[in-house]
Every structure is written in structure tokens, then in C-alpha cells.
Amino acid sequence: MEIRFSSGEVALPPLLSRMSLGALCWKTKSFVVALLVYGFFGSPTPDAYGWVELLVGSFLIFSMGVPNVREDGLFLFVMSVVAFVPMVVGFAHGHDIHDMVRDLIPFLFLFLYPFYKDPIRELREGYYILISIVGFSFSVRALMPYFDHFDISKGFQLGAPADLLYLANSPEVLFCALWCLVCSFIALFFKGNFPRAVLFFVLALVPVLSMVFMAQRAGLASFVLVFGGMVFLLLRTYPMRVLGAVAFLSVLAVFLGEYIIQIFDLLVRKTQLVGLNSRVQEWDYVLELVFRDWSHAIFGYGWGMRFENPAVGGIFVLFTHSLLSALLLKTGVLGAGLVFTTLIFIVMKAFPVLVTRRALFLVLIFPLLISGGIYASYKSLGFGLILLVFFEKAHQKLEKKSVSVA
């Protein structure tokens, strides 16, 4: 499948029944089962490790491959150094071992690629379906507490009345919304399949609705931006279809105008109440702690470090809302420099490959930036699953370069 904007034929993503699950090797099947269990029953940031985490972890271990030291030596080196040194620092500071584990495991999710390159290569485009299923499952689970008393005429309320609503912050949810939106455009403009386009658009509204109830401004804004970007890119090639689709959605918006206004008011009220959620103050405090002396500046405070975070009302927590600030706090300039240099290298290498598939790039870049930059959802398996695609595309670029040099 090529999800790209061009005058050529663009194939739609295959349905789940076409993923040929029976033909997959047992490691890939184990990988699929792990993610399905994670989506149906798991949590991105569990308070405690129970049977779900044990089951997901077991299937992920079964599906692990042996890293190629020659190809992946640099990534393994960075992962090992930045995992081990902050662990020593954490022990030296007397941090709780449980807190250290809760920091270390999400960090390891950043480096899934050396161990899981074979499953994603075998799944190919089915991998995007798998992430979307996880995101869709999270969305439905986040909305389930509302089903018994769902009355949209009462309007949307601020806050999260149910514990599961935080699932809407997961990067898989935003990925699912954007992926279904892209598939809807492809079905309509490249295949001329109106029923399938409507189906994908309706599916996209489920994760969007979960983000609405969470009042997740960044995710909803990215959905609108991708929608506008797709319209802009397709307008020149398919002007009548674009105008027809916009007209249809405009009529639909008129009928749903009351609810759209409620959603807009909800987001405006949240902005008035919390602004940027004290993200600037959080950064100021992290920098103050890190650069207090040279040892903390270089090595950080280690895994398991809790601090009084101004972005969550001064509660002592393990996280910040940015991957960079979290790495600075826990691993210092040394660890943050190694990890970010590696990740920037990967994203830059993947960019030439992804830019030829513009729709896929739009689907991936917003979950990456939002989860890694302004939400704490980088501390989840889902963020690692998004990064896996960038690692794979970067590897494709490096493989092509090595072949051309040879």
C-alpha cells in the first residue's frame, strides 16, 4: 500500500481479514496478541503491574528478536548507557526501586526497533491497522462510562468523571483518528468509494469524541490541521470532489452546529482556566533543579526521582510533560544529549522516505510531537510504537544508501 498524494493509483489499507494472520510467524503473532491485549485491557501508565501487564510483557518477550550488533550497535550502546548510569545515580540518591522501574521501562520503549524490526516488517501496512485498533479500543474504553447516561443535549462538561478517560491522551488514539481520516480521503478521492469513505470518517469520530471529552486541545487541533491540509493538497487535482465533500460536511455542520459550539466553548473555557497548564513553570523548575550544580547537570537525578511539579498543582510526581525535560531531570545533559541526538538522527533519516508518503507523514508526526513535547504520554508503549515506524523508515533510507555506495 502506498498512502501518498499523486495522480497515480493509491491503494486503500487492507481490512484486518486481509492481514493473513495465519501466514505470520509465531513471533509476529505473539507481537499482535500483545498489542491487542494491551488495547482491550491494558493501560499506558498502570498504577500497578497486574495480570494484563504480565500477559502483555510475556507476549512481547516471546516476540523479541536478537538485535544485529553491526546494524544496531549505536542504538544498543545509547540505550545501555542511558539505562544504566541513571540507575546507579538513582540508587545513590536512595530512590524507591518501584519508582525506578516505572521510569526505566518507558525509557526502554524508545528503543524497541532493534528487538521488533522483524514483526513490523512482516506486518507491513497491517502494522498501522494494529496501532489503530489499539487506539480505537482505548477510545471506546474511555467513552464507556458515558454510555449509560449519554445525553449530548446536556452539553459537555469539563473534567474527567471516569478514570478511563485518560486513555484518550494516548498517542494511539490520535494516530487512529488521523489514520481513519486519511483512509476516508483516500477512499473518496482515489477510489471513488463513498460508502467506505463515510465508514472511515465515522470511525475517526470515535477517537475524536474521546479527545473532546478529555478537552484535549492539541489532538483536536491536529485533526483539524490534517483535515485542512488534505483538502488543500487535493483541491488542485480533484476540485469538484473536494468542493462536494466540503459542501456535504458544511451541511452536516449546520445540523450539528449546537454541539460544535459546545465543543468550542469547552476548549475556550479550558484555555481560560488553565492556559498552557503551567508548562513554562514546569520547564523553569526542571532547569533550576538540573543546573543547580555540575553533577546534576551532567548526570541528572537518576531514575525514580520524584519532584514537586507545578504543572500538576505541586504534587510530587515522576514525570514532566516533555520528553526532553524528563530526560534532563533524570539523566542529565549526558543522557538527554545521547538520546535526543539519536532520535533526531532517526527522524531526519526517515523524513525523505516519509515525505514521499505525505498522508502517512501527517498521521505520524502529530502523535510524535504532541506526545513527546507537551503531554506525558511519551511514557507509554504507544509512543514507542510510533517511533518504531520512524526507525523502520530510517533503516530503509540507510539500506538504500549502502546499496548505492556498494
Contacts of 279 (CB under 8 A, 6+ apart): 311, 321, 322, 374
207, 272, 331, 333, 341 from 25: Cα distances, Å: 31, 52, 38, 41, 34
Tens digit of each residue's pLDDT (9 = 90 or more) over 349-379 = 888 888 788 888 889 999 999 999 888 889 9
Per-residue confidence (pLDDT) for residue 273, from 0 to 100: 64
Q: Grid coordinates representing 233?
A: 493538497
Of 261 and 152, more confident: 261
With cut-offs at 50, 70 and 90, classify the pLDDT of residue 14: very low
Tens digit of each residue's pLDDT (9 = 90 or more) over 24-77 = 898 999 999 999 999 999 988 887 778 899 999 999 999 999 988 888 888 999
Per DSSP, the residues of 187-203 read: HHHTS--HHHHHHHHHH
Q: Do 335 and 82 touch, CB atoms closer than 8 A?
A: yes
* Entry pTM: 0.87
What is the domain partition of the chain in residue ranges? 139-275
Core vs surface per residue 195-233: b (16+ CB within 10 A) or e: ebbeebbebbebbbbbbbbbbbbbbbebbeebbeebeeb
Give CA–CA dist 116/110, Å, rounded.
12
Tens digit of each residue's pLDDT (9 = 90 or more) over 312-338 = 888 899 999 999 999 999 999 999 999
Q: Grid coordinates representing 51?
A: 495480570
Give CA–CA dist 259/253, Å, rounded.
9
Q: Do 309 and 277 touch, CB atoms closer than 8 A?
A: no
Question: Residue 308's beta-bridge partner residues?
Answer: 316
* pLDDT at 157 exceeding the cut of 50: no
User: Rg of the chain over CA atoms, in angstroms?
Assistant: 22
Per-residue confidence (pLDDT) for residue 399, from 0 to 100: 55
Question: Residue 315's beta-bridge partner residues?
Answer: 309
204 secondary structure, DSSP code: H
State the burial class of residue 147 (Cβ atoms within 10 Å of its Cβ: 0-12, 13-18, 19+): exposed
Tens digit of each residue's pLDDT (9 = 90 or more) over 168-220 = 889 999 999 999 999 999 898 888 788 999 999 999 999 999 998 888 888 99
Tens digit of each residue's pLDDT (9 = 90 or more) over 210-264 = 998 888 888 999 999 999 888 888 887 888 878 887 887 788 778 777 777 777 7
Per-residue confidence (pLDDT) for residue 148, from 0 to 100: 58
Position of cell 507523514? 361
Per-residue confidence (pLDDT) for residue 19, from 0 to 100: 52
Position of cell 462538561? 157
What is the phi/psi pair of residue 126, to 5°?
A: -65, -20
Per-residue confidence (pLDDT) for residue 156, from 0 to 100: 42
Give CA–CA dist 372/354, Å, rounded.
19
Collapsed DSSP state (helix, strand, coil) of residue 376? coil
With cut-offs at 50, 70 and 90, classify the pLDDT of residue 21: low
